[in-house]
Amino acid sequence: MNTQKNGLTIANPSPLGLLGFGMTTLLLNLHNADIIPLSIVIVAMGFALGGAAQIIAGIMEFFKNNTFGATAFTAYGFFWWSLIVIWINPFAGIQPADAISMGWYLLVWGIFTLLMFVGTLRLNKGLQVVFLSLAALFFLLAAGDFTGNAAISRVGGWVGIFCGSAAIYCSLAQVINEVYGEKKLPL
């Protein structure tokens, strides 16, 4: 759906943001589920589609006066960039992240996500699934880091694969529904 704002027509940025989030979440959680190694593939996707594309979508949501979309996409875009900085630790003299600090990092994101999930209760079921599964993912990964139990993190990886897939579906459903001008895929 296009939005008219100050004489400027703005396309719906949500599919871009959801696609960036979904594809990057899916790839990272293939790693968390112990299916693929952490590699430059995940880092590059996190920087480009997970980070930059979501930040762009978030800024476009600001122009549409969509506080939920602007907050979600911008915050999660910067989540990906912060995670990359944590992984590569480019700051000399700064201690790398340990499991406990990562646990807290993930827990804080889980709390934020759970509260954003409350906002989805006024939105569509697809977004409810994405945000609830994302909150579960963050809490599982945090628990895995806090306890040192790799099995918890692997379960989180499978939840993340589901979450990323759900976000990709929501993205493509919006695109297909808009292209056809009718609801072809339910949300």
- Domain membership of residue 3 (yes or no) is no
Residue 9: strand pairing partners: 4
Sign, CA torsion 178/179/182/187:
negative
- Domain membership of residue 115 (yes or no) is yes
pTM greater than the 0.95 cutoff: no
- Domain membership of residue 140 (yes or no) is yes
Q: Rounded to the nearest 10 degrees, what angle do helices 14-32 and 125-147 cross at?
A: 30
CATH number at residue 53: 1.25.40
- Domain membership of residue 73 (yes or no) is yes
pLDDT the model gives residue 173: 97
Find out whether 97 and 118 touch, Cβ atoms under 8 Å. Answer: no
- Domain membership of residue 50 (yes or no) is yes
Residue 100: CA atoms inside 13 Å, Cβ hemisphere, count? 1
- Domain membership of residue 105 (yes or no) is yes
pLDDT the model gives residue 138: 98
pLDDT in tens for each of the 187 residues of the chain? 555 556 678 899 999 999 999 999 999 999 999 999 999 999 999 999 999 999 999 999 999 999 999 999 999 999 999 999 999 988 888 999 999 999 999 999 999 999 999 999 999 999 999 999 999 999 999 999 999 999 999 999 999 999 999 999 999 999 999 999 999 998 9
Cβ contacts of 171 within 8 Å, gap of 6 or more: 14, 15, 16, 17, 18, 19, 22
- Domain membership of residue 119 (yes or no) is yes
Structural domain count, the chain: 1
Its domain, for residue 138, covers 12-87+97-180
pLDDT the model gives residue 55: 98
Report the C-alpha dihedral over residues 42, 47, 53, 57, rounded to 10 degrees.
Answer: 110
- Domain membership of residue 23 (yes or no) is yes
Could you list the beta-strand ranges (E) of 1-63. 3-5, 8-10
Specify the 3-state DSSP secondary structure of 44.
Answer: helix
